[in-house]
Structure 1
Amino acid sequence: MTDAGAGSSAAPDLAIATSGLTKTFGRHTAVDALELAVPRASVFGFLGPNGSGKTTTIRMLLGLVTPSGGRAQVLGEAVPDRLARVLPRVGALVEGPAFYPFLSGEANLRRLDAADPLASPRTRGARVAAALDRVGLVHAAGKKVHAYSLGMKQRLGLAAALLAPRELLVLDEPTNGLDPQGTREVRSLIRSLADDGTTVVVSTHLLAEVEQVCTHAAVLRAGRLVAQGTLDTLQGAARRRVRVLTPDAGAAIAVLRGLGLSPEPADPDTVLATWPAAGDDREVPAAPERLVAALVAAGVRVRGFSAAGPSLEERFVELTGEGFDVAP
């Protein structure tokens, strides 16, 4: 896991790299010295409670808001200085899609495609049809957008972001308003895009989205980065819980305490422990089987043993001090 103070540098394997990126509104600091590193071809979860600075960061990366300080690079180019080179390679869905309500979904996409100076008019119909098909809106292509449900508008926003091949796709709450089937389809779409080499940044506060599609994540709290890294690393950095069923509780406690855990009896035949113990910097055997081996070697009769890490929800609550919504 990368600590909040770690620096980021522009590297070929990073789709997004920021250094000291800051945004203030008057006396309020919305984003505070952000050091973000998004690997290419990753599905990157950008996480934090509402108001933590996620959307402001995205808007700075896309040139919609001018940073107050720091630097940012997107796809190897400095932003906002070289946005003209960056934006044609980026698709985005930020803060909900906006369309002409009395035009059809297909007509809206045609207008958006026509606004792209790099898009050939001769192949416009094929691009629009492919984008609608990819998000499952072919059946509603001719329907006026004011009659679309929230989920259908969200799908149309995804289609707009996919009108051209993209190296980077930035999605702000991409499953907002979708039913369970639509949510599964969007997850599948995100995975397929990443498999094709597209970097996908998913800004969300729904942990189910992170657990099911993301390979990496960063966690913001009050505008500051508190952790980032692979999903496994983020979860593995927290303390784990151990449960030992044994008639030799006293001996088990002594062994576990000697290994750097913080054991305590739960009942006469059960010992509970966490590792590492709070404030203990000693190296602790991470593999549960090593803990069992140490207990057995000390003559402890082990009748049951279990070890579990914290859930993703518990880890993020620990990092941010606030709860997250957990989708079904």
Structure 2
Amino acid sequence: MLLPGGESSDLAIETHDLTKRFGRQTAVAGIDLAVPRGSVFGFLGPNGSGKTTSIRMMLGLVSPSSGSVRLLGEEMPRRLSEVLPRVGALVEGPAFSPFLSGAANLRRFDSADPLAPPRTRGARVEAALDRVGLGHAASKKVQAYSLGMKQRLGLANTLLMPRELLVLDEPTNGLDPQGTREVRALIRSLADSGTTVFVSSHLLAEIEQICTHVGVMSAGALVATGTLDELRQVGAARVILQTPDAAAARRVLVGLGLALLEATEPDHVVASVAEGVGGDGDGLRPEAIVAALVEAGVRVRGFSVEQPSLEDRFVALTGEGFDVVQ
């Protein structure tokens, strides 16, 4: 498992052995998360993998069966009243009064925040709506909003006051491609201003485009965590060789320590190597493999190295597919 390092003071979210059971069913099985401050952390996994339950425990919405949570350096839920004003959250979709306008709903939520200054409420509501592209629909009743507009309104609610940490559960749910791009740009701008953003999603493309760090959930367990680059570097690269001397090529590759894989073409030889091919590590480099083949008299008509994609890595970790197209 790849763990981003750091002291507790450097972490926006820290969990140890966080577990939630419902009767005999274990929804979250002892996860250890370390989310660096200032990062955009993608919490990735298939639907039903335990992401939302984990988030609810982090925010103090449900009590863990065991384990501990620290948010912004403070123990949860013991310090909940001190921590939550510093956190914005959108969990399991927004819930608004349908017969009030978007702006009226935000004013209502803002007035419930004892730390929100009433004098600037109108200006802050207007700015939040503009930031998520809902300025034109501020006076429209929420019952007339589409799913995507309601999702945008939920995001606007998290932006009414400055936040050190944003926790967003499926923030692009219901958005069209243009809206999805706008939310991605918004998340990047928030991170650039120093806000830590924790994004839960089952969409690989969303995580890959906006996140600096990733945690992968599967069946309630955290199966990998680290930076995107760290996850990309884990896994076996494939060497694909085209040659009329397939038998001799296989002997050379095996002698170099590569594992043979099934080839789909008779004049192709496919092998895997754990790491280093095509990179800066200590493993075999492509030119060294080709040199060994030529020295052995193998006629090389084609040679390529395929690195594992993030999709390959996640499927290998979870045993399940991900939605990769939006």
**Structures share a fold, TM > 0.5?**
yes
SS of 1:113's partner is helix
Aligned partner (choices 181, 196, 201) of residue 199 of structure 1: 196
Q: Could you tell me which residue of structure 2 aligns to residue 137 of structure 1?
A: 134
In the TM superposition, residue 325 of structure 1 has moved relative to its aligned partner by 1.7
Q: Secondary structure at the match of 1:12?
A: helix
* CA deviation vs aligned residue, 1:199-252 (integer Å, no higher than 9, x gap): 111111111111211111111111111111111222321222211123333333
Question: How far did 1:268 drift?
Answer: 4.7
Q: CA deviation at 1:286?
A: 5.6
Q: If the length of structure 2 is used for normalisation, what is the TM-score?
A: 0.92
Q: 2:120 aligns with which of 95, 113, 123?
A: 123
RMSD over aligned Cα, in angstroms?
A: 2.1
Distance 1:224 1:179, change over 3 A: same
CA distance in 1, matches of 2:128, 2:240: 51
Unaligned runs of 5+ in 1: 278-282
- Residue 45 of structure 2: aligned partner: 48
- Aligned residue for 2:214? 217
- 2:153 matched to 1:156? yes
Residue number among 316, 321, 324 corresponding to 1:323 in the alignment: 321
SS in 2 for 1:211: helix
Distance 1:77 1:101, change over 3 A: same
Give the gaps of 5 or more residues in structure 2. Answer: 276-280
CA distance, structure 2, for counterparts of residue 9 and residue 42 of structure 1:
13
Of the structure 1 ranges 253-262 and 134-143, higher mean CA displacement relative to structure 2 is found in 253-262
Answer yes or no: is the 8 Å Cα contact 2:4–2:225 preserved in 1: no
Cα distance, 1:119–1:146 mapped onto 2, change above 3 Å: same
> Letter of the aligned partner of 1:312 in structure 2?
L
The aligned residue for residue 15 of structure 1 is 12
Q: Tell me the CA shift for residue 310 of structure 1.
A: 2.4
Between the aligned partners of 1:139 and 1:286, the Cα distance in structure 2 is 58
| 1:260 equivalent in alignment to 2:257 | yes
Separation of aligned partners in 2, 1:102 and 1:30: 36
Maintained 8 Å contact 1:60/1:66: yes
Q: Is the 8 A contact 1:9 1:18 kept in 2?
A: no
Aligned residues: 320
In structure 2, distance between residues paired with 1:127 and 1:204: 28
2:50–2:220 contact (8 Å) kept in structure 1: yes
> Are the aligned partners of 2:169 and 2:199 in contact in 1 as well (CA < 8 Å)?
yes
Is 267-276 or 147-156 further displaced after alignment?
267-276
Indicate how the Cα distance of structure 1 residues 172 and 289 shifts in structure 2: closer, same or farther if over 3 A, else same: farther
SS at match of 2:9: coil
Tell me the secondary structure at the aligned position of residue 48 of structure 2: coil
Give the letter aligned to residue 253 of structure 1: R
Alignment of 1:271-310 (within 5 A): 271-276=269-274, 285=283, 287-296=285-294, 298-310=296-308
2: distance between equivalents of 1:223 and 1:214?
A: 21
Deviations 1:33-76 (A, max 9, x none): 11111112111111112221100110011010011111111111
- What TM-score does the superposition give when structure 1 sets the normalisation length? 0.91
SS in 2 for 1:263: strand
Letter of the structure 1 residue corresponding to residue 113 of structure 2: D
Asked if 1:108 corresponds to 2:128, the answer is no
Runs (4 or more) in structure 1 with deviation over 6 Å come to: 6-9
Check conservation: 1:260, 1:276, Cα contact below 8 A.
no
Name the stretch that deviates more: 299-308 or 219-228. 299-308
Task: Output one character per residue of 1:239-279: Cα deviation in whole Å (capped at 9) or x when no partner.
Answer: 222111233333332232123211255545321111239xx
1:62 and 2:59 matched:
yes
The Cα shift of 1:294 comes to 4.0
Q: In structure 1, what is the Cα distance between the partners aligned to 2:62 and 2:256? A: 51
Is the CA contact (8 Å cut-off) linking 1:8 and 1:19 kept in structure 2? no
Measured in 2, the distance between the counterparts of 1:197 and 1:175 equals 21
Distance between the aligned counterparts of 1:256 and 1:266, measured in 2?
Answer: 18
The answer (yes or no) to whether the contact 1:259–1:285 under 8 Å persists in 2 is no
